[in-house]
């Protein structure tokens, strides 16, 4: 099979060499931990503990607030110190459970399963649901919902998103290098839910060692294969990945299941394995601390609820004062003004850059070069959509399919006039969605 890809896309500086070759380090928290109750798409979780309660590691501290919701678990043992709003990476104030770590890590007992084949499909889904597994690649969609489509017999593909196309991020790479067996076992569990599906590991070809490892592990698996993807951003976008692997296209009005696909990222499938096989809830993940301003760029296996400052300190702090700090990657991450922000299930990276290249350039008029059109993976006209957005022309914005934008930032990256096209389009999308909700 040749290299698979999609139309459009860009080739930003990868920056992965900073952290990819350093083995993942275990990191235990020192201070208090903060657990926002909204760590997923859907209804916020509901706290089931009170101030003063003693909790154990692995204990549920907030239950799902509805079908499209997910429970939250303590990643340490200690005492509930407060339940109050705390600021999160996107800037919102979110009700949060604060736990004072006692440093003892006393843990609840789990219920592992010796033979996964003995579990029914319903029991597998229930274990995933009860463990609080969500999409850990960024979106945070509850995994038990994603794995429960209306017509499971029509699912042809379960795709593992192993692309990790966002520059600088290497947490999925380290997971694939260090725990590929858990990833494959997670896929095997997911395939038990879909009798007619094939499992595909979509890996960009800038990770030949991961491709080799996974191919060796699945060589005797008739329902699994490894798809080598062209290294190009945003190859890991859900729509782009589905198109590259299957040739099927979806839009904003469709779910992947409408195209016969289910997509889960690396960390999510490992969490599925932990939940179903080991009975362990989501309490930790792998996290990249990187950038040219960081003393020791690396990856940590850390307890969810720790703050960014503690992770940065463990990486040696700053070797040079950064101009830009980002939660996530440079293309789709969120700029931070404070490092006293809690990590969540969907937190993947802290990027610290000595230069804010975007701020260095002033916008100039559009020269109608068409580069944004060539780069757009959704085949839109970003320059025109941004013009409609900046002038408040929501009707024209929708007419020109602005709601199909996946907010990847490729248009802003490629624009020679340094226009913030993606930001304008994203803002207009939010405005239109808000207006629809009012109606």
Helix (H) or strand (E) run with residue 272 in it: helix 266-273
The single-letter DSSP state of residue 152 is G
Question: Under 8 Å CB-to-CB from 170, ≥6 apart: which residues?
Answer: 16, 19, 20, 164, 288, 290, 299
Q: Rounded distance, CA 145 to CA 258, Å?
A: 14
Q: Is 163 exposed, middle or buried (0-12, 13-18, 19+ CB in 10 A)?
A: buried
165 is in an annotated binding site: no
Distances (CA, A) of 380 to 162, 340, 389, 433: 26, 38, 14, 19
Find the distance separating the first CA and the last CA of the chain, reported in whole Å: 49
Pairwise CA distance, residues 35 & 309, whole Å: 16
261 carries a ligand binding annotation: no
Long-range contacts from 306-310, C-beta under 8 angstroms, 24+ separation = 306/27, 306/29, 306/33, 306/342, 306/343, 307/31, 307/34, 307/339, 307/340, 307/341, 307/342, 307/343, 308/336, 308/339, 308/340, 308/341, 308/343, 308/350, 309/339, 309/340, 310/29, 310/30, 310/31
Q: CB under 8 Å to 201, separation ≥6 — which residues? A: 160, 162, 183, 187, 214, 218, 224, 225, 226, 227
Going by C-alpha positions, the residue among 87, 88, 4, 82 that lies closest to residue 49 is: 82
Residue 352 is labelled as binding a ligand: no
Buried b (16+ CB within 10 A) or exposed e, 191-201: bbbbeebbbbb
424 closest CA partner among 286, 63, 106, 432: 432
The answer to the question of whether 376 is labelled as a binding residue is: yes
DSSP secondary structure letter of residue 330? T
Give the chain's largest Cα–Cα span.
Answer: 64
Is 408 flagged in the annotation as binding? yes
Sheet bearing 78-87, strands edge to edge: 33-36, 93-101, 78-87, 54-55
366 marked as binding residue: yes
Q: Which residues are annotated as a binding site for [4Fe-4S] cluster?
A: 366, 369, 372, 376, 405, 408, 411, 415
Q: Which residues are annotated as a binding site?
A: 366, 369, 372, 376, 405, 408, 411, 415
């Amino acid at each position: 099979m040749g290299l698979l890809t999609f139309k459009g896309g860009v080739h930003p500086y990868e920056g992965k060499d900073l952290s990819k070759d350093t083995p993942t380090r275990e990191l235990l928290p020192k201070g208090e931990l903060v657990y926002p109750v909204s760590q997923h798409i859907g209804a916020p979780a509901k706290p089931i503990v009170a101030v003063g309660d003693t909790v154990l590691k692995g204990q549920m501290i907030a239950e799902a607030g509805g079908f499209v919701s997910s429970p939250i678990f303590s990643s340490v043992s200690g005492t509930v110190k407060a339940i109050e709003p705390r600021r999160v990476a996107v800037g919102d104030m979110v009700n949060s459970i604060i736990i004072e770590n006692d440093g003892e890590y006393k843990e609840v007992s789990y219920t592992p399963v010796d033979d996964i084949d003995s579990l029914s499909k319903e029991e597998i889904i229930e274990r995933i649901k009860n463990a609080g597994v969500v999409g850990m690649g960024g979106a945070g969609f509850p995994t038990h919902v994603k794995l429960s489509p209306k017509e499971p017999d029509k699912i042809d593909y379960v795709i593992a998103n192993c692309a990790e196309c966002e520059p600088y991020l290497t947490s999925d790479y380290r997971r694939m290098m260090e725990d590929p067996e858990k990833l494959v076992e997670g896929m095997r569990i997911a395939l038990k839910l879909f009798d007619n599906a094939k499992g595909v590991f979509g890996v960009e070809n800038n990770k030949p060692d991961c491709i080799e490892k996974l191919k060796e592990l699945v060589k005797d698996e008739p329902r699994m294969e490894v798809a080598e993807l062209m290294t190009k951003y945003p190859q890991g976008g859900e729509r782009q990945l589905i198109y590259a692997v299957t040739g099927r296209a979806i839009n904003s009005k469709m779910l992947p299941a409408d195209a016969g696909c289910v997509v889960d990222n690396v960390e999510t499938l490992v969490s599925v394995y932990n939940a179903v096989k080991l009975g362990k809830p989501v309490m930790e993940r792998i996290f990249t601390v990187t950038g040219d301003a960081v003393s020791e760029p690396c990856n940590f296996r850390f307890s969810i609820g720790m703050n960014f400052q503690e992770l940065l300190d463990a990486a040696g702090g700053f070797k040079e004062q950064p101009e830009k700090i980002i939660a996530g990657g440079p293309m789709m991450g969120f700029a931070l003004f404070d490092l006293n922000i809690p990590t969540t299930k969907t937190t993947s990276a802290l990027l610290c850059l000595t230069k804010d290249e975007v701020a260095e350039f002033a916008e100039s008029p559009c020269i109608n070069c068409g580069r944004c059109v060539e780069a757009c993976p959704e085949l839109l006209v970003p320059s025109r959509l941004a013009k409609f957005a900046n002038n408040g022309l929501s009707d024209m914005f929708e007419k020109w399919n602005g709601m199909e934008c996946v907010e990847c930032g490729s248009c802003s990256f490629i624009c020679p006039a340094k226009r913030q096209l993606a930001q304008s389009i994203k803002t207009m999308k939010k405005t239109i969605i808000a207006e629809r909700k009012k109606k």
